[in-house]
Structure 1
Amino acid sequence: MSPKQMLVLIAQNEIKDDIVDTLIELDFLSGFSLGTICGFSREHSHFNIKEQVEGYREFCKFEIMHPNEQQEALLAAITLVCKHNPCRYWIMPITHTGTLC
């Protein structure tokens, strides 16, 4: 089994479905996780009025475990979707994985 790593991607909700469609098409992925998060920032000028009052903006967070050697292909595919809506990401090595029963 090849080494794996985790890509965490923070994206605007407006492009969530496009990212999902992109990830589903990648045959080297067995799946991914998606959730909603609250993003806090010192750059409130990018927030709309509702977000400024609440103090945060809602984003979607993807967690995508993938083979190390597929990193460039994964980033290239996601970059096409994020072209007009920049997404923040980071990649972490996975040291252990398994199923607990």
Structure 2
Amino acid sequence: MTEQCIFSCFVDPETVDNVVDCLLCQPFVGGFSMHGIEGYSKEHANYTVSEQVAGHRSVCRIDIRLQHKDLDSLTAALAALSLQHRIRYWVTPVIDSGII
């Protein structure tokens, strides 16, 4: 397993400020990127009526590059927020990185 990974999580716009504040307080998070996306899912029972009509939900995707050993600390910190909406995530290994 590689030492670095990308933690990608998907956060509802209403709770993104709480998640960002949490990430900024973590000593192992050096930075991250965030952008708005349109999320599609077969699990749309929790969508608002307008989201059901549109067929998607607006969410924020946050990508964080960190050491694999810090994943448990990160997920524990996010779980401690006790947000109204769940945070979905996945982890991708970093094969190489650099600056050109």
Q: Same fold (TM over 0.5)?
A: yes
Structure 1 residue 80: Cα displacement: 1.5
Q: Distance in 2 between matches of 1:17 and 1:86?
A: 15
1:96 aligns to what SS in structure 2? coil
* Structure 1 runs not aligned, ≥5 long: none
1:1-101 counterparts in 2 under 5 A? 3-100=3-100
Q: Which moved more, 1:80-89 or 1:56-65?
A: 80-89
2:98 aligns to what SS in structure 1? coil
Deviations 1:37-88 (A, max 9, x none): 1011223322112111211110010101111111111111111225432111
2:80 aligns to what SS in structure 1? helix
Structure 1 residue 27: Cα displacement: 1.3
Question: Structure 1 runs of 4+ off > 6 angstroms?
Answer: none
Structure 1 residue 33: Cα displacement: 0.6
- Contact persistence 2:15–2:83 (CA under 8 A): no
* Structure 2 runs not aligned, ≥5 long: none
- Contact persistence 1:15–1:81 (CA under 8 A): no
Q: Which moved more, 1:33-42 or 1:78-87?
A: 78-87
Q: Distance in 2 between matches of 1:17 and 1:28?
A: 19
Q: Hey, which of these two has a bigger chunk of helix by percent?
A: 1
- Contact persistence 1:4–1:65 (CA under 8 A): yes
